[in-house]
Amino acid sequence: MSASELAPGPLTSLSEEEELLRNTVREFAQTVIAPRAADMDRVAKMDPEIIEQCFELGLMGIEVPEELGGAGSSFFMAILVIEELAAVDPSVAVLVDVQNTLVNNALLRWGTASQQAAYLRKLTADTVGAYCLSEAASGSDAFALQTRALEDGAGYRLNGRKLWITNGNEAGVYLIFATVDPALGYRGITGFIVERGFSGFSVGKKEDKLGIRASSTVELVLDDCWVPRENVLGEVGKGYKIAIETLNEGRIGIGAQMIGLARGALNHAKGHVLERKQFGKALSEFQGVQFQLAQCATEVEAARLLVYNASRLKDAGLPFLTQAAMAKLFASQTAERCASQAVEFLGGTGFTKDFPVEKLYRDAKIGAIYEGTSNMQLVTIAKQLLARDVVI
């Protein structure tokens, strides 16, 4: 642990195995990713060597059983990895996050034995995955999607467009949601495993984004894309269940990304105020600065407790819907506040691209948007809270 690192408190302490993983990923992030983060942000492209090393370190298949090439570890371990990567570069963190909490998780829970053998082996070895739900008219109203899946012989033909797809440029395997019959509403939605080389599939426009710029966000074009029947994920018409339950888990991953980001920003700020002098003394000696740092540190620890608690509930097989929504909501708010405060601590230099806090400030905004906006998290929390059998 570096001298500038904020140590977790007792309630967020880790086992020996968890601490070893955290320290390994932290060293990788600081020595390999940090020197390339600014350039990747500038050119808006992930360094292929970083992706390759994420596979080599086993970070792309954390929960996948060892017999399928994965680490056979826990969801909580994945959360630790995401947090550590995000403290240096949230773009790399979301690459690993989507792979583990969405794509791998969906295949582990709903994939057949043959699907798992075929695709999880690839996803742990060298193939990036993407999760494809959103469309132009289907954002918070996720099940308003219009992509169609029509039966055709031994499979289905998919037609439509998917938007804002994370990992879309790098991916080789895509979990795509389409409806077999719009008249059925959400009960027509079905998940499909689509490979990049399938006929009728192509990657379209790449978005030019405010933050997490090295993470690719693209449009996918499905023009009579033929998918064999054996690539239906789960059951026909049960895609809505897969999507909802997978995103509930994914929100914990975004919470981890946001606490990592906030912690990274806070540590940059701490290092600055200890060194920077004004009026003959270090900024850290001013009580106003101390109070602002203390407030940020308190919020980071509170967000970490929410995220860790939700992930451990998930691992224990206990209900975690409300806790996941709270974790994502609060962690994303904390990331924005702490990153903004870090820019202010660094003053004029913090507003330039010469220091990482400017990038972290831009990266923080997405936390309130993807995998369920903050308003949608509030809807979820309120709905659960107001249930008659819930005791506050």
Q: Cβ distance 194 to 225 under 8 Å?
A: yes
Q: What whole-number distance in Å separates Cα of residue 392 and Cα of residue 385?
A: 8
Q: Cβ distance 151 to 190 under 8 Å?
A: no
Instruction: Report DSSP state, residue 276.
Output: -
- Cβ neighbours, 10 Å, residue 35: 10
Stretch (H or E) spanning 56: helix 48-56
Catalytic residue among 84, 219, 301, 371: 371
One-letter amino acid of 63: E
3 state DSSP class of 73: coil
Closest CA to 161 of 135, 139, 138: 135
Token pair for 151: 């039966």
> Rounded to an integer, what is the distance from CA 174 to the centroid of its chain?
16
Q: Which residues of 120-155 are buried (b: 16+ CB within 10 A; e: fewer)?
A: bbbbbeebbbbbbbbbeebbeebbebebbbeeeeeb
Q: What whole-number distance in Å separates Cα of residue 85 and Cα of residue 326?
A: 22
Cα dihedral: 73, 86, 293, 331 (round 10): -70
Q: Cβ distance 304 to 259 under 8 Å?
A: yes
The answer to whether 371 is a known catalytic residue is: yes
Instruction: Name the residues annotated as catalytic.
Output: 371
